[in-house]
Amino acid sequence: MKKRRNIEALAFTVPALMILGVFVFYPLVRNIIYSFQSFTLSSVTKEWVGLKNYATLLSDKIILTCLKNNILYALISIVIQVGFGLVLAAVLEDVAFRKLAPTLRSIYFIPTVISMTVVCLLFDFVYNPQMGLLNSFLEMIGLESLTKIWLGSKKTAMYAVIAVSQWQSTGYVTMLFIVAIQKIPRDLYEAAEVDGASKIKRFFYITVPQVRQMFFVTMILTVSGAFTVFNEPYILTSGGPGTATMVLSLHMYQTGFVKNNMGYASTIAMLIFVITAVLSSVQFFSFGAEKEER
């Protein structure tokens, strides 16, 4: 019996492992090798350069800008998508919103299903300094002094780009939290209500601890998303003005496909991989440990 189960288990896992092996692990290993080589897309041979690419990585000033921007991206995404998303989900699940909730849920979710490219082009219009919605709106309500060249200034460009992602992804995270909240047994809330706990107290002492698992999922999603973000800066600013909105994956793309330096691009890819792997495992183990305690 046991043997049969082993065979069954194997039969089910081997295909998945093979697919993972071919499409994930093999390229990963190849990428590690590439990161020690120097070559272009059209070069016939690959030159082994040892740690040269890694030395370049350490002296590359743009990497610092990228890291700064990616970290900013991650922090703001955690606060807005995870933090604000959770609050939004709790509010939508509150009895007071029972009638409106389905409509609002759909509205918040709509940005998620729009293609990233469309969203970015849309925001290109929103941010347009002359006829853009944002500046026109500010002028309309008498805040002319606040109008800015959003994507053309070093100070605002990165925030403008980050805002687009928040607009798009918060609805998705909210949806995940709504699902988690709906799984919380109602009697917990009823008991708390009988005990006289306010809505805010119920949120902190029942909702937040109960959605901890989802918290972990959304944290991994947003943080790894923040460190691999590409579309928004690529379409909106291509890293400009100057290098103000450069992020790691955009730098990797430009190094590989514009500067045609695939070896160094692989090295940047390794950096991104290490960062996301470390962050994910830290979160994984810290949340995993908590789970066992319970």
- Contact flag: residue 172 with another protein (CB under 8 A): no
Q: How far is the CB of 16 from another protein (least distance, A)?
A: 17
Segment lying near another protein (by CB under 8 A), choices 8-16, 97-105, 115-123, 253-261: 253-261
- Contact flag: residue 245 with another protein (CB under 8 A): no
Build a one-symbol-per-residue string for 212-241: x at contacts with another protein by CB under 8 A, - elsewhere.
Answer: -------------------------xxxxx
Give the residue with the Cβ less far from another protein, 245 or 276: 245
Segment lying near another protein (by CB under 8 A), choices 26-34, 39-47, 137-145, 198-206: 39-47
Nearest by Cα to 93 from 196, 210, 194 = 210
Give the residue with the Cβ less far from another protein, 85 or 256: 256
What are the C-alpha distances in Å from 57 to residues 36, 48, 67, 263, 280?
Answer: 12, 16, 12, 11, 22
Bridging pattern class, strands 47-48 and 37-38: antiparallel
CA-to-CA distance for 156 and 290, rounded, in angstroms? 39
Contact, 240 vs 227, CB < 8 A? no
Q: How far is the CB of 204 from another protein (least distance, A)?
A: 43
* Coil/strand/helix, residue 147: coil
Segment lying near another protein (by CB under 8 A), choices 37-45, 86-94, 178-186, 281-289: 37-45
Give the residue with the Cβ less far from another protein, 16 or 41: 41
**Token couple for 171:** 């609805």
Number of alpha carbons in the 13 Å side-chain half-sphere of residue 42:
3
Segment lying near another protein (by CB under 8 A), choices 92-100, 127-135, 168-176, 221-229: 127-135
- Calculate the CA dihedral of residues 143, 133, 105, 94 and round it to 10 degrees: 0
Binding site for another protein (CB under 8 A): 40-44, 56, 127-130, 149-154, 237-244, 254, 257-261
